[in-house]
Amino acid sequence: MEHPENDPKYKGLIVNKGVARPPSVNPYLLKRRKEDERSVAEYTEGVLSGNRVILSQAVTLVESSRPEHQEKAQAIIERCLPYAGNSIRVGITGVPGAGKSTSIDAFGMHLLKKKHKLAVLAIDPSSERSKGSILGDKTRMEKLSLEQDAFIRPSPSAGSLGGVARKTRETIVLCEAAGFDYLFVETVGVGQSETAVHSMVDFFLLIQLAGAGDELQGIKRGIMEMADGIVINKADGDNIEKAKMARSHFSNALHLFPLPESGWTPEVLTYSGYYNLGITEVWDMIHKYVDFVKESGYFDRKRKEQAKYWMYETINEQLRNSFYRDPEIAGLLEKLENDVLHNRKSSFVAAKEALDRYYAHKG
Ligand code: GDP
């Protein structure tokens, strides 16, 4: 029936026809569910063809702790492995505020201009506590996040540092198989996560600031020793002189360390991520290093060592999980802990008792 409002005497009033009622279930979600059911072959094909949506979903499988997801993820990784490895992996560390995101944005745009494809991953040690990731967040890299040839993935958020790092390491395989020829792995320069990053990258870059004492930057000797290059950010405006001084300070400090296994003496450079100054020089240094270690054979040797390291890390992680997640053991540990605290048992006797129970129970 015609609406009475459409009568010519109500000129100016137009009543639109109603729209069809939308389905009560969002059709996009239905499609999503189907995507969840992709086969290993479909995932692999999608990743290898560089499909970013499928790559993202495959990474989600890697990060999932559900056994069926893990199983699928491992199968995909195994199929992708022959196509992985053709990238330059750069670890980037520095305390919060050092300018990691600003620099990654600038470094990344430099690479994209040269027609490379870049994936930015992260290992965020704080994620376990906060259950949220502060690194690798797309909004922190304003320019890169708009680029088709950049894939930015925040840090996996659940689990121990070892577990989080392993997932990042597996994600590297997927990204490389998807055709990303540069990989950044970002971490905050405050603790053990550097060791994890160091054991999955070819070049380890330490971002420093001028004028901040070493203590302030939380830089332990160990982290400096791991660095293949130290770059002093914010060398712009009034800060240029200070940055130059910091450069000689760090160069001198580096000379006190023994020559690294790679045979490469780490270089120290100044640059400005914000004003895009000295970025080319930083990349020239990284490429010079890569040429040097490829020539000497260290590049391949290190990657093999890293593969071995991750095999043992994975074994350790799985054993630990299997032990601590066993409900019977968890109950026993509580009791043993109490015994140890009250001097009823020595730490070693208690540990042995727990392990014996575990072996008996598993065997
Ligand atoms: P992150 O915490 O290490 O990721 O550091 P951000 O990239 O978020 O940078 C921290 C602050 O330093 C921000 O306010 C940036 O704008 C500023 N910043 C970063 N790079 C530079 C630079 O090259 N020069 C100057 N002057 N400021 C910078």
Distance 115 CA to ligand 1 centre (A): 26
Which residues fall within 8 angstroms of residue 225, CB to CB, at 6 or more apart? 257, 260
pLDDT tier at 216 (50, 70, 90 boundaries)? very low
Q: The whole model's pTM is what?
A: 0.83
- Please tell me the residue having the least CA distance from ligand 1 atom 11: 97
pLDDT tier at 163 (50, 70, 90 boundaries)? confident
Which residue intervals of the chain are DSSP H helices? 27-36, 40-48, 52-63, 67-80, 100-113, 127-130, 161-177, 193-198, 221-226, 240-255, 279-296, 298-324, 327-341, 347-362
Higher pLDDT, 18 or 114: 114
- Please tell me the residue having the least CA distance from ligand 1 atom 7: 99
Distance 207 CA to ligand 1 centre (A): 11
Q: What is the pLDDT of residue 318?
A: 85
β-pairing verdict for 150-152 and 118-123 = parallel
Distance 161 CA to ligand 1 centre (A): 26
Distance 100 CA to ligand 1 centre (A): 7
pLDDT at 158 over 70: no
CATH fold of the domain at 85-309: Rossmann fold (3.40.50)
Q: Which residues line ligand 1 (CB under 6 A)?
A: 94, 96-102, 233-234, 236, 272-275
Q: What is the mean pLDDT of residues 128-154?
A: 74
Higher pLDDT, 142 or 211: 142
Q: What is the pLDDT of residue 28?
A: 67
Q: Which of 95, 102, 190 to mutate to test the pocket of ligand 1 (most atoms within 8 A of CB)?
A: 102
pLDDT at 2 over 90: no
Distance 61 CA to ligand 1 centre (A): 33
pLDDT digits (tens, 9 = 90+) for 94-105: 888 889 999 999
User: Do the two domains 33-83 and 85-309 of this chain adopt the same fold?
Assistant: no
pLDDT at 219 over 70: no
DSSP H or E segment with residue 209: strand 203-209
Class (C level, CATH) for 33-83: mainly alpha
Show me where the domains of the chain are located.
33-83, 85-309, 324-362
pLDDT tier at 134 (50, 70, 90 boundaries)? low
Percent of the chain with pLDDT over 90: 59
